[in-house]
Amino acid sequence: MSKKAPIRDRVEASQKKRAAMVARLGCVPHSVLKLNRGALSRSMFCYQQERPDRRGGTAAYTASIANYGSEESEEAQRIREKEKIAGAGYSRNPSKDRMAASIMAAELVDFFARYYSAPGEVYVDPFMGQGVQLQVAWLLGIHYRGMDLSEDFFAYIEAVRDRLLAIAPDRKDPPEALVLNGDSRFLEGIPDGEGDFCFTSPPYWDIEWYGSEEEQLGTGQTYEDFLAGMEEVAVALRRKMKPGAFAVINVNDFRRGGDFYPYHADTISLFRRAGWKVHDIWIIEGLIGGLPKVFGVKSNTARIAPKVHEYGLVFRA
């Protein structure tokens, strides 16, 4: 609308655009993005929250996915709580004493997929993790191409994919869901130049337990070697994307052995070396920070800022 148009018309047009954005994204976003885990995260099939002998899930889980965005029924919640094992068997690898892999917040994937992508586009994900990204993409009607090296995670995600496809006859034009077990430094099996969008959370060196495969990026590696492997992933990912495609990398800084590692800054550097352009940075609040708040006094006494945020680094191919 022209700036010469009456102020009333410009205000009305602005209000309509604002309402449309709120309807699509749930808010008018700002650079500090505040999110919480809610009904969408509770509706996800999750590797660490299902019994190893019950990976096929239940009708209640399937219903909660089919009714995307709605609150679970009391019966579904009861079944979920009964079958939850709070990560038993996956909470820590005793031989390496690493923490269990983090569970992705579905609300975070959902926001960035809605913001940077659209139904019918192709989502390329080099780190499928526990399958939350696949599920959110499917719910939004976005075609998914994912890879993960962990044989355990892959087997679980493949089962989740099959459950989603079992629901597909009830949907008009269900999206494609390609999941591959392989090395993310090569992304073999995903066509070059196909991707419109990527949202992923890469591994955190060797702090978390992703599997026993020797090819895991952090296994037995120095931090510098790990970053070199991550750069190979960034190069491979760029080949799979269309020119101008968006990639959002969800990372955070961390401490290990008393040393501080600026992982978000290092990720920016390695993506730039891989040929990506830095487009934007989001600060994400609300999804982490429980322990930093509880032990905030201890951290501050040591002159360390308790970390209650993480990053969404946005790049363009």
The bridge status of strand 254-256 relative to strand 259-261 is antiparallel
CA-CA distance, 43 to 40, in Å (whole number)? 5
CA-CA distance, 101 to 78, in Å (whole number)? 25
Q: One digit per residue, pLDDT tens: the chain, 317 residues?
A: 556 667 776 767 778 888 888 888 888 889 999 999 999 998 888 776 664 444 343 333 444 444 444 444 444 443 343 333 223 233 334 344 566 667 899 999 999 999 999 999 999 999 999 899 999 999 999 999 999 999 988 988 998 898 888 877 667 788 999 999 999 999 999 999 999 999 999 999 988 888 889 899 988 899 999 999 999 999 999 999 999 999 999 999 999 888 999 999 999 999 999 999 999 999 999 888 777 777 788 889 989 988 889 999 999 99
CB atoms within 10 A of CB 210: 23
Q: Which residues pair with 251 in a beta bridge?
A: 311
CA-CA distance, 42 to 161, in Å (whole number)? 18
Predicted pLDDT of residue 175: 93
The bridge status of strand 177-181 relative to strand 195-200 is unpaired
Is residue 259 within 8 Å of 284, Cβ to Cβ?
no
C-alpha distances (whole Å) from 7 to each of 3, 4, 14, 83, 156 are: 8, 8, 10, 58, 56
Backbone angles phi, psi at 182, to 5 degrees: -175, -175
* Closest C-alpha to 237, from 111, 159, 125, 97: 125
CA-CA distance, 176 to 122, in Å (whole number)? 9
Instruction: List alpha helices for the chain, DSSP H.
Output: 7-25, 39-42, 59-66, 74-83, 106-116, 132-139, 151-167, 223-240, 263-273, 290-294, 296-301
Token digits for 260?
């501080």
Predicted pLDDT of residue 97: 57
Predicted pLDDT of residue 76: 42
Is residue 79 within 8 Å of 49, Cβ to Cβ?
no
* Closest C-alpha to 263, from 223, 208, 218: 223
Predicted pLDDT of residue 180: 97
CA-CA distance, 111 to 117, in Å (whole number)? 10
Q: How many helices (H) and strands (E) does the chain have?
A: 11, 13
**Which residue's entry shows tokens 């790049």?**
315
CA angle 166, 46, 227 (to 5 degrees): 115
The bridge status of strand 241-251 relative to strand 208-209 is unpaired
C-alpha distances (whole Å) from 231 to each of 80, 105, 185, 204, 276 are: 39, 25, 8, 14, 11
H or E element in which residue 258 lies: none
CA-CA distance, 51 to 57, in Å (whole number)? 9
CB atoms within 10 A of CB 281: 12
CB atoms within 10 A of CB 5: 11
Predicted pLDDT of residue 28: 85
Indicate yes or no: pTM above 0.85. no
CA-CA distance, 305 to 166, in Å (whole number)? 47
Question: Residue 95 is which amino acid?
Answer: S
